[in-house]
Amino acid sequence: MNKEAIIAEILTKVKSDLQNYVGDFDQLLSLENAEIMTKNLVATAQIFCEEVMKIYLTEHETQENTVVHNGKKYFFKCPGEKGFLAIFGKTSFERRLYCSKDGEYFVPLDHAWGMEDQ
């Protein structure tokens, strides 16, 4: 996916979320309504950040059926979920798990961004 497609996909999602809150602009200004608006905007910002990070990570995922790491050959086994805590909150995404003939696992994406054993 190219950068323009990524941006378009994210903007579509954020725009959809923001449209859900547009009605809140018609509410009278009050402390309660300002708090609701703030919570909605923060939630939208979190969704935006989460989506950008997921796309960024998955765009760097290898699609090969075999990979070699430290001289050992690993074969694609299955997708596996990875959760992590970021400044915008908890999130998770799927990445590809590889296994060697002797049963050792390797996750290239985790290795690439220093998240092995995390």
- Which tokens belong to 112? 């690439």
Average pLDDT of 74-80?
Answer: 97
Higher pLDDT, 118 or 28: 28
| 108 φψ region: left (φ > 0), alpha (ψ -120 to 50), beta (else) | alpha
pLDDT in tens, 12-52: 877 777 777 666 667 788 898 888 888 888 888 888 888 88
Higher pLDDT, 76 or 60: 76
pLDDT in tens, 80-106: 999 988 888 888 889 999 999 999 999
pLDDT, residue 53, reads 86
88 near 35, Cβ under 8 Å? no
pLDDT, residue 50, reads 86
Residue 91: its H or E element? strand 89-99
Domain ranges of the chain: 3-59, 66-112
Q: Is the pLDDT of residue 56 over 80?
A: yes
Residue 21: name the closest of 7, 40, 6 by CA: 40
